[in-house]
Structure 1
């Protein structure tokens, strides 16, 4: 996926194939959000921002790491969803086959829920970095901080439904509880994003 052109990826996304789908798209939202923060950090350099150099450099490093992590999650999501499709295609003629298929589906669904849950965590990390960068970032690119936060919110809200759709077939209560704890952070991400965007809009309206 990381070596595809944008056009090729969108062609695959639009095709009648199991993956990539919404989960991979959510991860790519997170990757774009992190990339935007990296760009703002790189514009926040020089003597004017020297007092914030250490913080800005940390944000640059962490946003680059988050971008790579989110791209990996996009690839993992596509692979995990393909595994779910494969599990549903297993034979179910005998009782033994039915039992094996049911177990395989439950295992695959748990695996498919993991990448979007990790996307939510990545989105929260992006929003936290955006909050730190907002008051010290180069004002000429302040709108990109809002864009990053909004992309992170899109990542989180999209990832949440991709976690929830897989919960139906997950039998392990501990796994379910852990995934639900991840999705519970999405409303917080949305609220914090709204604050960031409101602050940016207020700033550009001055």
Structure 2
């Protein structure tokens, strides 16, 4: 599990000629880092100086910590889902019945593999939303990390979108494709626009 391995071990696996982990897991870790950075900035925005914002900051810390945990679970889920696709393609197809079972298994696995990045786009959007809330009150000494957080979330969202696309093109069930489209179409664009806007505001605040 990604959650329990060292960064070096994870990167070695990522760099290896193995199908998992891949871009989906990397995207989830982008989101996890983004959420962790939001939590860090919020924790630096505590104490007497920020007492009037204590309730907001406490909520952001709690939410961001929760998103870190969720993102790590999605990293592992992505590995599992993609491995499911690989395993489905390896199923025997020597008879008509086996071919039908293999096809059904592949289709089920592809839908699951698309569902995981769909959840990740929503999570990335939540990271950007928290960062946007925090920006106005954040400790100026760590304000650049707000931009770093949303940049990481942006990367998570755009990578997740590509991973949805590559699975959807192989899904034959039109109803399943429609559901995925309804859940995700345009979402990553909103995340990107919101992230770009906040990065611009952070830079303006830094540069005066």
Match of 1:170 in 2: 171
Q: What CA distance in whole angstroms lies between the structure 1 residues aligned with 2:30 and 2:9?
A: 17
Secondary structure (helix, strand or coil) at the match of 1:2 reads helix
Match of 2:201 in 1: 199
Q: Does 1:160 align with 2:161?
A: yes
Q: Cα distance, 1:177 vs. partner? A: 2.1
Q: What CA distance in whole angstroms lies between the structure 2 residues aligned with 1:180 and 1:150?
A: 24
Match of 2:59 in 1: 58
Match of 2:140 in 1: 139
Q: What CA distance in whole angstroms lies between the structure 2 residues aligned with 1:17 and 1:44?
A: 42
Match of 1:78 in 2: 79
> Which ranges in structure 1 are unaligned for 5 or more consecutive residues?
none
Q: Cα distance, 1:169 vs. partner? A: 2.4
- Number of residue equivalences: 206
Match of 2:37 in 1: 36
Q: Cα distance, 1:172 vs. partner? A: 3.0
CA-atom RMSD in angstroms: 1.0
State the TM-score, normalized to the length of structure 1: 0.97
Q: What CA distance in whole angstroms lies between the structure 2 residues aligned with 1:174 and 1:35?
A: 36
Q: Cα distance, 1:3 vs. partner? A: 1.0
User: Residues 156 and 189 of structure 1 are in contact (CA less than 8 Å); yes or no, is this contact kept in structure 2?
Assistant: yes
Q: What CA distance in whole angstroms lies between the structure 1 residues aligned with 2:124 and 2:178?
A: 20
User: Residues 66 and 122 of structure 1 are in contact (CA less than 8 Å); yes or no, is this contact kept in structure 2?
Assistant: yes
1:85-113 deviations in Å (ceiling 9; x for gaps): 00011112222221111111000000111
Match of 2:98 in 1: 97
Q: Cα distance, 1:175 vs. partner? A: 2.4
State the TM-score, normalized to the length of structure 2: 0.96
Q: Cα distance, 1:176 vs. partner? A: 1.6
Q: What CA distance in whole angstroms lies between the structure 1 residues aligned with 2:190 and 2:176?
A: 22
Q: What CA distance in whole angstroms lies between the structure 2 residues aligned with 1:54 and 1:91?
A: 58
Q: Cα distance, 1:125 vs. partner? A: 0.3
> Which ranges in structure 2 are unaligned for 5 or more consecutive residues?
none
Secondary structure (helix, strand or coil) at the match of 2:126 reads helix
